[in-house]
């Protein structure tokens, strides 16, 4: 998902902005996605608009809170890199300079004056007009909720849909694919989401094969590349004591989705991607739960073997005290 310019997206109550130079946020290929409070622009307007109502006869000491609030919020906006502005920088800078000049007179306890009231209202009007035009050109989208899945979680923290005891036994690569799939699902890229979800499944299937076959050599193609997911499933069933229900679920995923998604003419609908999402979570959880159970059985069996192989220790030797008047050595009783 490439980004060549700053874009922002409304996501279920949160404004998201992609900006290449920002060092924090959610990493994307070519940029980063940064959460921003959607009330940002509203708060800006609430601090600037009161300048319109100032009168020439107003004492600067009395309107100082209004001036300080407007100055601080405007300065923050003009320096903001999350949603950088360009066209309105000159008019915004002019308004900031006018505010600075008037704020510098507060200590003199003067009135705002006709000229002061005029330049504030005039520069504010031009800034608002240009800012409105520039914001109209920004790309803004509302990302709707997908099924019962929270949008912000899909984008920020997709791995949270997996139980903690399951994801702790997943590799970093499989978790990364799962998270990318969640983001694709949020942004309505169903075929891409399915692709990432099945990559995650295939990665876990290989680990499942290793665990259930006691790390038997992995099946490969003739060029020594890893075999297809279907082969790993069949070989795990053949050489490992696998739960038939888990094997059945994996075969269903492989037949219904894995085979079809490798062909460019086949695509997933959003409904199919959401259903696949649930199936993948179920399959991954089932595989890892079975792997964990086998590991516990192996540890228990190993402990039993160790206990049988250990020699039985000889009973302790006790010494009975004797009367030493005769000078004889004490008798050892076994």
- Cα–Cα distance between 231 and 241 in angstroms, integer? 16
Pair (270, 217) in one structural domain: yes
Pair (160, 296) in one structural domain: yes
> What is the domain extent for residue 263?
151-305
Pair (179, 298) in one structural domain: yes
With respect to residue 334, please indicate whether it lies within any of the assigned structural domains: no
Pair (111, 240) in one structural domain: no
Pair (295, 166) in one structural domain: yes
Instruction: Indicate the residue among 136, 169, 184 that finishes a domain.
Output: 136
- Cα–Cα distance between 324 and 330 in angstroms, integer? 8
Q: Which pLDDT value is given to residue 305?
A: 72
With respect to residue 232, please indicate whether it lies within any of the assigned structural domains: yes
C-alpha distances in Å from residue 220, one per residue of 81, 203, 209, 225, 261:
50, 14, 13, 5, 21
Pair (122, 233) in one structural domain: no
C-alpha distances in Å from residue 236, one per residue of 121, 206, 212, 252:
76, 9, 7, 15
Least Cα distance to 100 among 71, 78, 76, 57 occurs for 71
Q: Count other C-beta atoms under 10 Å from residue 324's C-beta.
A: 9
Block means of pLDDT (10 residues each) for the chain, length 334 residues?
39 39 46 72 93 96 96 93 86 96 92 96 96 86 88 93 95 96 95 94 96 94 90 95 95 81 82 95 96 92 73 62 54 50
Pair (298, 162) in one structural domain: yes
Pair (203, 297) in one structural domain: yes
Q: Please, are residues 38 and 13 in contact by the beta-carbon 8 Å criterion? A: yes
H or E segment at 313? none
Pair (76, 219) in one structural domain: no
Pair (50, 192) in one structural domain: no
With respect to residue 296, please indicate whether it lies within any of the assigned structural domains: yes
Q: Which pLDDT value is given to residue 12?
A: 38
With respect to residue 287, please indicate whether it lies within any of the assigned structural domains: yes
Strands 332-333 and 318-319 turn out to be antiparallel
- What does the buried/exposed string (b/e) look like for 111-135 if buried means 16 or more CB atoms within 10 Å of the residue's CB? bbeeebbebbeebbebbbebbeeee
With respect to residue 319, please indicate whether it lies within any of the assigned structural domains: no
Pair (209, 255) in one structural domain: yes
Q: Which residues pair with 333 in a beta bridge?
A: 318
With respect to residue 203, please indicate whether it lies within any of the assigned structural domains: yes
- The CATH number of the domain where 62 resides is what? 1.20.120
With respect to residue 199, please indicate whether it lies within any of the assigned structural domains: yes
Pair (118, 165) in one structural domain: no
Angle at 190 between CA 277 and CA 188, to 5 degrees: 110
Token readout for 242 is 């696998």
- How many domains, in total, are found in the chain? 2
With respect to residue 48, please indicate whether it lies within any of the assigned structural domains: yes
* Burial class of 287 by CB neighbour count within 10 A (0 to 12, 13 to 18, 19+): buried
Instruction: Indicate the residue among 91, 110, 136 that finishes a domain.
Output: 136
């Amino acid at each position: 998902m490439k980004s060549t310019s700053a874009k922002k997206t409304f996501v279920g109550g949160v404004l998201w902005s992609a900006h290449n130079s920002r060092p924090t946020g959610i990493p994307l290929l070519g940029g980063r996605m940064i959460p921003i409070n959607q009330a940002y622009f509203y708060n800006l307007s609430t601090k600037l608009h009161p300048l319109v109502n100032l009168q020439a006869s107003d004492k600067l000491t009395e309107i100082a809170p209004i001036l300080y609030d407007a100055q601080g919020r405007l300065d923050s906006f003009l320096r903001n890199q999350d949603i950088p502005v360009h066209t309105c920088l000159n008019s915004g800078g002019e308004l900031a300079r006018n505010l600075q000049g008037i704020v510098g007179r507060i200590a003199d306890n003067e009135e705002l004056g006709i000229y002061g009231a005029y330049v504030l209202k005039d520069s504010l009007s031009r800034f608002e007009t240009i800012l409105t035009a520039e914001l109209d050109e920004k790309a803004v989208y509302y990302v709707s909720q997908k099924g019962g899945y929270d949008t912000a979680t899909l984008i920020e923290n997709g791995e949270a849909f997996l139980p903690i005891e399951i994801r702790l036994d997943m590799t970093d690569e499989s978790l990364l694919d799962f998270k990318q799939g969640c983001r694709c699902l949020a942004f309505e890229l169903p075929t891409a989401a399915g692709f990432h979800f099945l990559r995650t499944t295939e990665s876990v299937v290989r680990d499942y094969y290793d665990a259930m076959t006691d790390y038997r050599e992995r099946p490969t193609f003739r060029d020594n590349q890893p075999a297809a997911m279907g082969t790993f499933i069949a070989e795990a069933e053949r050489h490992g004591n696998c739960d038939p229900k888990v094997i059945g679920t994996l075969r269903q995923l492989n037949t219904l989705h894995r085979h079809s998604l490798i062909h460019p003419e086949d695509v997933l609908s959003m409904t199919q991607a959401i259903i696949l999402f649930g199936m993948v979570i179920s399959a991954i959880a089932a595989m890892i739960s079975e792997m964990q159970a086998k590991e516990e059985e192996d540890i228990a069996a190993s402990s039993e073997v160790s206990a049988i192989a250990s020699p039985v220790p000889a009973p302790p030797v006790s010494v009975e005290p004797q009367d030493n008047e005769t000078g004889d050595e004490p008798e050892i009783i076994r």
